[in-house]
């Protein structure tokens, strides 16, 4: 490491830091893009099959979005602690934390499974009252619910491996999963090669098969890799109870933050779903593209959290400060690129869908709005959810999400949609506004290093 890094230069000049960062960022971004494509394959293929099938699957995906957010919470809570131990190259505590994290993953997956098994139609009616959409959504959910527990376990194991800079296996797994899902979709949605035409149920079968394959590959790798972590070795089978307590203290605010924010997103979609069928179809299409690029921002958050945690674990405070400034500039540049990209590709991508002219025109307007939202989110999410939370400042992230989402965004969204009767585009602006105004408190908090740089290892 050169003298600039040691002296606390404004930006970090540690080559190993950048190698770790870009290695994790590139592979996690690609893995997230491919992993998201498993669900997007259902979206695009069903979009060319029928609009009710597309809207039904999109409605169910609001539930799966909650599953993803909760799994991210479990994984991110692990990364906060695990990356600091990895910065010290201590693997036995990491295995003990992994045992606790996987228990949480199984319990969370089971909660979603039983909720959707007991009241699938009642849950979906929270998002739409259209009977045609409900019929398709229930058929999709009856099969998709079996993916919840496998997905929770796979996502948690991938986060455990990511905390020790092992990310290639998740990338490879996602490629295999995508290929399998697309092939099964093609055969079962449309009834190719003599198979029955199952429509939305065929898409769900493809997704379930892909998720089960992901689980088997990731667990097989973790069980046989003894070079770095040896996940199921000493420390996993008989974990220290203190580590389970540490994980619980970290996990509760992280998971609660993800859940409170995650619940708001389907509720926001439900607001649009109660306006018109064109609104839910247009929002589904627009947010599909937005979410596709958002996975890059999520990858930034994960990578930033790992490298910040590793740097804190090494006990080098000056480097942590320089790293924060470096990552802030990087996140802003990437945000501008993503917003511009979304704007440029919107027209050719909209041609993939067979929707009414009104729904297509509305989708175009919503994408333009989301281009601006992307810039704000591209800065605040990696810094807040990545650096600040990765540094141990989990309570600030929880407080900001609670206030911004539930005290500002949700009341404003409901009022604009149902009281003031604003146009759909204006309602979407209200729904997404938190991604802009959270930038200022995130920037201010990042300047108070003593409040978020916390060493959590024993």
Give me the pLDDT at residue 9, please.
65
Q: What are phi and psi of 354, to 5 degrees?
A: -105, 80
Give me the pLDDT at residue 39, please.
65
Radius of gyration (C-alpha) of the chain in whole angstroms: 22
What pLDDT, in 10s, does the model give residues 103-133?
999 999 999 999 999 999 988 888 778 788 8
Helix (H) or strand (E) holding 345: helix 317-350
Give me the pLDDT at residue 197, please.
84
Q: Report the distance separating Cα 82 and Cα 75, nearest Å.
A: 10
Give me the pLDDT at residue 4, please.
41
**Which residues are within 8 A (CB) of 119 and not within 5 positions of it... i.e. 6 or more apart?**
none
Helix (H) or strand (E) holding 373: helix 357-381
Q: Which of 83, 405, 337, 63 has the alpha carbon at shortest distance from 204? A: 63
Give me the pLDDT at residue 219, please.
92
Q: What are phi and psi of 164, to 5 degrees?
A: -110, 25
Q: Between the CA of residue 37 and those of 231, 288, 292, what are the distances in Å?
A: 28, 10, 8
What pLDDT, in 10s, does the model give residues 397-456?
999 988 998 999 999 999 998 899 898 889 989 998 989 989 999 999 999 998 999 888
3-state DSSP of 95-130: HHHHHHHHHHHHHHHHHHHHHHHHCHHHHHCCCCCC
Q: Report the distance separating Cα 297 and Cα 378, nearest Å.
A: 6
Helix, strand or coil for residue 315? coil
Helix (H) or strand (E) holding 159: helix 148-163
Give the global pTM. 0.82
Q: Which of 276, 284, 378 has the alpha carbon at shortest distance from 332? A: 378
Chunked in runs of 10, what are the mean pLDDT values of the chain (458 residues)? 48 82 88 74 74 82 86 91 90 92 95 93 84 89 94 94 90 89 88 85 90 93 83 82 92 89 76 76 82 86 92 86 93 95 89 82 92 94 93 91 90 91 90 91 94 88
Q: Between the CA of residue 79 and those of 120, 234, 247, 458, what are the distances in Å?
A: 33, 20, 10, 15
Q: Are 361 and 277 a contacting pair, CB within 8 Å?
A: no
**Which residues are within 8 A (CB) of 411 and not within 5 positions of it... i.e. 6 or more apart?**
none
- Residue 383, both tokens: 């810094």
Q: Report the distance separating Cα 307 and Cα 24, nearest Å.
A: 9
Q: Between the CA of residue 327 and those of 3, 118, 378, what are the distances in Å?
A: 20, 45, 12
Q: Which of 257, 259, 243, 246 has the alpha carbon at shortest distance from 394? A: 257
Q: Tokens 């400042």 map to which residue?
A: 393
Q: Are 82 and 312 a contacting pair, CB within 8 Å?
A: no
Q: Between the CA of residue 78 and those of 99, 243, 306, what are the distances in Å?
A: 10, 11, 10
């Amino acid at each position: 490491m050169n003298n600039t890094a040691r002296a606390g230069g404004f930006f970090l000049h540690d080559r190993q830091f950048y190698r770790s960062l870009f290695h994790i960022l590139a592979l996690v971004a690609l893995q997230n893009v491919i992993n998201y494509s498993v669900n997007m394959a259902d979206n695009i293929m069903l979009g060319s099959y029928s609009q009710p099938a597309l809207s039904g699957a999109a409605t169910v995906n609001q539930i799966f979005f909650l599953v993803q957010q909760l799994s991210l919470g479990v994984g991110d809570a692990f990364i906060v602690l695990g990356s600091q131990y990895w910065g010290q190259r201590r693997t036995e505590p990491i295995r003990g934390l992994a045992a606790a994290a996987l228990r949480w993953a199984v319990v969370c997956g089971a909660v979603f499974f039983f909720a959707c098994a007991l009241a699938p139609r009642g849950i979906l009616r929270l998002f739409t009252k259209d009977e045609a959409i409900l019929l398709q959504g229930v058929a999709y959910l009856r099969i998709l619910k079996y993916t919840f527990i496998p997905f929770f376990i796979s996502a948690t194991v991938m986060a455990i491996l990511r905390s020790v800079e092992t990310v290639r296996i998740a990338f490879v797994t996602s490629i295999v999963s995508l290929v399998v899902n697309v092939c099964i979709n093609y055969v079962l949605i449309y009834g190719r090669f003599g198979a029955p035409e199952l429509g939305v149920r065929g898409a769900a079968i493809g997704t379930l098969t892909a998720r089960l394959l992901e689980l088997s590959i990731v667990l097989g790798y973790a069980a046989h890799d003894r070079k770095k972590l040896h996940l199921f070795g000493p420390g996993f089978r008989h974990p220290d109870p203190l580590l389970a307590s540490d994980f619980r203290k970290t996990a509760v605010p992280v998971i609660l933050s993800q859940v409170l924010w995650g619940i708001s997103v389907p509720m926001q979609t439900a607001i649009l779903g109660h306006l018109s069928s064109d609104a839910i179809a247009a929002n589904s299409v627009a947010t599909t593209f937005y979410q596709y690029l958002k996975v890059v921002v999520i990858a930034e958050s994960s990578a930033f959290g790992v490298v910040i945690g590793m740097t804190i674990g090494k006990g080098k405070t000056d480097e942590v400060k320089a790293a924060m400034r470096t990552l802030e500039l990087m996140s802003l540049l990437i945000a501008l690129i993503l917003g511009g990209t979304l704007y440029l590709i919107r027209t050719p991508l909209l041609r993939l869908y067979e929707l009414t002219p009104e729904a297509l025109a509305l989708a175009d307007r919503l994408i333009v709005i989301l281009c601006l939202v992307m810039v704000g989110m591209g800065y605040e999410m990696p810094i807040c959810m990545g650096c600040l939370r990765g540094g141990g400042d989990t309570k600030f992230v929880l407080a900001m999400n609670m206030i911004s989402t539930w005290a500002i965004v949700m009341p404003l969204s409901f009022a604009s949609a149902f009281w003031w009767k604003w146009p759909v585009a204006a309602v979407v602006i209200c729904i997404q506004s938190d991604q802009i105004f959270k930038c200022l408190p995130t920037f201010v908090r990042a300047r108070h290093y003593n409040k978020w740089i916390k060493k959590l290892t024993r």
